[in-house]
Amino acid sequence: MKLVVLGLSLSSSWGNGHATTYRSLLKAFAARGHDILFLERDVPWYRAHRDLARPDFCSLAFYRTPEELARWSDEIASADAVMVGSYVPDGVEVGRFVQRTARGVTAFYDIDTPVTLAKLERDDHEYLAPDLIPGFDLYLSFTGGPTLKRIERDYGSPAARALYCCVDPAAYPPLQVPKKWDLSYLGTYSDDRQPTLERLLIEPARRLPHLRFAVAGPQYPEGIDWPANVERIDHVAPADHAAFYAASRFTLNVTRADMIAAGWSPSVRLFEAAACAVPVISDRWDGLDSLLLPDREILLADTTEDVTARLARTPDGEAGSIGRAARARILASHTSAHRARSLETLIDEAGVARASDDKTIINRTPEREPIMKNDRSRTILVTGGAGFIGSHICDALIAEGATVVCLDNFMTGRRENIAHLEREERFELFECDVIDRLPYRLENGRARFDQIYHLACAASPPHYQADPEHTMLTNVLGTRNMLQLAERTGARLLLTSTSEVYGDPEVHPQPETYRGWVSCTGPRACYDEGKRAAETLAFDYLRSGRGDVRVARIFNTYGPRMRPDDGRVVSNVICQALAGDDITVYGDGTQTRSFCFVSDMVDGLMRLMVSDRAVGVPVNLGNPNELTVIDLVRRVLALTGSDSRIVHRPLPEDDPRRRQPDIARAARLLGWRPRVSLQEGLGVTTAWFAKEEALRLGRHQPEDRSEGGRAPLVEAAE
């Protein structure tokens, strides 16, 4: 895509954190194949201190007045996205020009969100005015958490999303250099940071005269009483940041007052120091523990005594372990590559939202813009790709231009599901089992993958109970094999787990934080416990920095390509009704389920795969509209006109009584919510089963041409 950025500064890192932020983010964004134009106001201070006048990852141009921006009107109008940053001089005028001119997605990138909101409350419109906010398709914020809802609720933003600062790990490696200081701090002077700096560095220096300290950064006033053992450094160029951090036993993170009040506001210096594996001592604020774990990946301090104790009593071995753990977390979640992927996804989602506001999902899906616009250069592996959901994933990826490698052992997958794809140049099929040795081309490292959708495993009770040992090995050994393949190839892996990890739940509906009520010895344990173990493996790989993983917990899904013999309630009821057979209901039919149509599930999985907001947490995907099994049966009987009788059978062992997903996390992190109604979905699914049965018996079945009568993904496939 073509991106135009109007930011405070790219050319000079003196006296601002914006330049290093833009450099790392845009360099990674360009590496994904995008073209970038950065427009910077030509001001004397930055002109006199430029340390990157000719970036090799984007075009950089300077303008002297807002009126001069008209020279770039064509570039702004034709761009896929235009982003205006905080603290841009005359930012309100610049923002209005962009909103008038741009035809693509527009975004406000707020590197100073709490400061911005405090200014707006004071009617200080230095670079942003309240009436501009609804006009930006995206409000990208350095601050996450509750602030995002506030921006949407109070200021009318269509979509406020966190885009935290990040670090280029190549520019911030661990270095083995002599230690010059016991505690250092790198940051520009700020009135609201200075009291914390006094408390957490200057006063500890007075109390510990035998230790050495350093404060680096410009604009500190002359009147500060620096102790003799504090070295002052006016500027450290970005190229020297890693060496500065590495020369310290510990480094200090100090957060501005507005950002402490808002929470969820990490500074770029925090991520930079952690990437260098230097143990960080930080002030305390809400949300910090969601980024780095206290006492394992970061040390927290509230008082001077806290700091002096840390410096005096933390052994070098423990400090080194904390630094290494912090670096592992940064590499797993907070690099510039992570943020570039997130920015790409957010822009694409905003583009889809602009184009789709007045359409229903059932009609929109075939025309949906790709979640990843550059998928034509991507190679994606789908295990279980001939299965029910897997084959729909393959269809969607091929439709978006990706090259797809499908892996399936055909124990439950069917060749008919992917027969139409075998004619595609960008589709390749390997018949093998994920628990066995992979085909030579995949095993020896010659194949490179950008993403791995790991769906391989029988998912219905009759199938996974038929060979419980194989089911367990598929979940554990097969998942390990795929994680190792992802590690070798640098691919992001999405593990499809299941709502079965909640067992027969005592909490309703089931949030991801619920740990479940699972029988570890019952007939369903091979699947339930196998998926729990697979999640453990996936998150262990993520925590250790060995893999970039996402985990979906899938609830009941239905739609075309379900097997008639898979034993799931939707396929059972539809097939029995169409055949005029007795409809089997286990128990009294009051047990509940929540049914998600397959196109909605595929959309959720693809959003999760590209999301950088859903790191380190499982995400429920399912339809929260709960209904009883007996109600489902009545709907199918009405839909088919069948006169089948309902026959009750004993409830299977460990069969859950209630099942309903809490999808608040998916809505918040992915912007996802099911759109296809049960009536629409059942109509499409019933028509598909009727057609399949007619083909099996050699009868002609007229095509259903009613609006919304066919599944979007099935239509694309056929």
Provide the annotated active-site residues: 527
Q: How far apart are CA 389 and CA 395, in angstroms?
A: 10
Give residues with Cβ within 8 angstroms of 293, minimum separation 6: 325, 329
- At residue 378's C-alpha, the angle toward residues 376 and 383, to 5°, is 125
* 269, 330 contact by CB (below 8 A): no
Query: What are the tokens at 567?
Result: 């034993």
Report the amino acid identity of residue 145: G
Q: How far is CA 138 from the centre of its chain?
A: 16
User: 173 — phi, psi (to 5°)?
Assistant: -90, 160
Q: How far apart are CA 521 and CA 498, in angstroms?
A: 18
Q: How far apart are CA 340 and CA 614, in angstroms?
A: 15
| Tally of CB atoms within 10 A around 173 | 12
User: 708 — phi, psi (to 5°)?
Assistant: 75, 10
Q: How far is CA 274 from the centre of its chain?
A: 21
> Strands 181-186, 160-162: parallel, antiparallel or unpaired by DSSP?
unpaired
* 272, 167 contact by CB (below 8 A): yes
Virtual torsion, Cα 447, 451, 456, 460, nearest 10 deg: -160
Query: What are the tokens at 673?
Result: 């919510």
User: 10 — phi, psi (to 5°)?
Assistant: -110, -30
Stretch (H or E) spanning 162: strand 160-162
Q: Sheet harboring 280-282: ordered strands across?
A: 230-233, 213-216, 181-186, 248-253, 280-282, 299-300
Among 611, 614, 606, which Cα is nearest to 397's? 606
